[in-house]
A and B are shown apart, each in its own frame.
Chain A
């Protein structure tokens, strides 16, 4: 590979990289601009952030969104992990494949289909639209990704480890809590993170099942963006970018760390 060739390749990668990040940086830069358009930078100001923090409605929506994300990802992680254990324990190949296909239906379904069908479902069961319906939907669409993250870890676990534990007299609960869960913890953790981002990112499903009283950030941004430019949204995007950055960096380091010292890392995190 010649040096010149190498440079061209990197240039392309940088170009893609710049195109991917430019709009996000653009948003954040204008969150510090005076004036109220995203056309010319009119000088530095914190005022949009001040507006943002004074906007109690938006803060409440932000907290609601966070609450839904945390609750739904914790519950989805528990149900998904147990589901992955169950799928792994099925003895017939056909049962396993059926379960995996069913599991993947919500992964590949378009958001509008999930949203519309859940809306019919909640209406049929007379579940009021609002916090509860949004939470249930978020749990529902986060479960399959948790299963997909946890299952490879379970399959990777050697059966002699479990046999040894069983031979040494561990009962089912001890086997699960002291051997299996610590071993698959990295998978559980990735599943949890993915569920969290799915929930924070979701717009379409929430938009269908949210009803009138309850709103999440995505839905709020949508309705504000339809009215045009408002630099308060830019300020919000600055904060959300920071949050995503923290999540990503945390996720990356936990991944790297657990790859290197899996045992110590899992033990530390369980505390």
Chain B
């Protein structure tokens, strides 16, 4: 207590951090919202929102983007949960975890680039398909390749929070459930999964939101067939220079993000503690 009084009297060291919050957290978001009320000629208008909510193109694009983000998240979750579960039972879980996370330290663009080679017309994936008798397919620039590569990139971000909540799970609950006669499936669905739900939610949060905005993948792998909210924002800001409309889509993306955060926010504190360990 004595220390707190001492240090809090001298708050000069806190200034840079507060400045950062003001300038780089609050100001940019406000500016983005402000910008969304201006048209391409710099006049104040509500037209961006009118266009957005009355145009089928924009609404379909939004639905599509959410749908693909959902598919990516689902695929990632289905692969990651068993991975995290098995990981927890290995001899050296920390080492395995490190190995699973390590690919995230390789530049994202390089991984996307690798798939351009793998999925190309006569690439290794098609050579394999020919070898097993299916014959070459168009793989690159399809919706499948977009989901595959996005899931590939996101898996570690899903494994980490799930692993943290599984490793925090007290094994005596599992033992108690088995002792009381539950089958493996009952133990999993009634005990293990509900108790690790915070980790799953954190994982969904970590995967779904970025999946709405992966514009580089839609360009490099998806061949512009899938337009996500992120692609649309990038297009408006850097190609057509219509910052107002881009900001409007940005505001929609922020609202989508807030909704997802609210849906997945139960027991967040516990998982966050786990993630920063």
Q: Which residues of chain B are within 8 angstroms of A143 by Cβ–Cβ distance?
A: 17, 20, 24
Nearest CB of chain A from residue B271's CB, rounded to whole Å: 12
Question: Beyond A83-B17, A110-B253, is A23–B205 a contact (Cβ under 8 Å)?
Answer: no
When C-beta atoms are compared, the residue in chain B nearest to A111 turns out to be B213
| B105 interfacial by beta-carbon distance below 8 Å | yes
Contact with B along A52-64 (1 / 0, CB 8 A): 0000000000000
Question: Beyond A110-B230, A112-B234, is A89–B213 a contact (Cβ under 8 Å)?
Answer: no
Q: Which residues of chain B are within 8 angstroms of A10 by Cβ–Cβ distance?
A: 86, 90
Nearest CB of chain B from residue A142's CB, rounded to whole Å: 10
Question: Beyond A82-B13, A197-B105, A203-B216, is A16–B83 a contact (Cβ under 8 Å)?
Answer: yes
Question: Beyond A121-B28, A166-B2, A222-B216, is A26–B108 a contact (Cβ under 8 Å)?
Answer: no
| A204 interfacial by beta-carbon distance below 8 Å | yes
Q: Which residues of chain A are within 8 angstroms of B250 by Cβ–Cβ distance?
A: 112-113, 116-117
Is the Cβ of B8 less than 8 Å from the Cβ of A89? yes
B contact face: mostly helix, strand, loop, or mixed: helix
Question: Beyond A39-B124, A110-B257, is A30–B13 a contact (Cβ under 8 Å)?
Answer: no
Kindly state the separation between the CA atoms of A248 and B23 in the bound complex, as whole angstroms: 32
> What size tier do the contact residues of chain A reach?
35 or more
Q: How many residues of B contact A (CB 8 A)?
A: 90
Contact with A along B169-183 (1 / 0, CB 8 A): 000000000000000
| A266 interfacial by beta-carbon distance below 8 Å | no
| A264 interfacial by beta-carbon distance below 8 Å | no
Contacts A163-B2, A233-B113 aside, 16 further interface pairs with beta carbons under 8 A come to: A20-B156, A24-B110, A89-B14, A102-B25, A109-B257, A110-B210, A115-B237, A116-B237, A120-B35, A143-B20, A204-B213, A221-B113, A236-B110, A237-B114, A240-B110, A244-B105
Interface residues of A (CB under 8 A from B): 9-10, 12-13, 16-17, 19-21, 23-24, 26-27, 30, 37-39, 78-80, 82-83, 85-86, 89, 91, 99, 102-103, 105-106, 108-121, 124, 136, 139-140, 143, 147-149, 151-152, 159, 162-163, 166, 172, 175, 197, 200-201, 203-204, 207-208, 217-218, 221-222, 225-226, 228-229, 233, 236-237, 240-241, 244, 247-248, 252
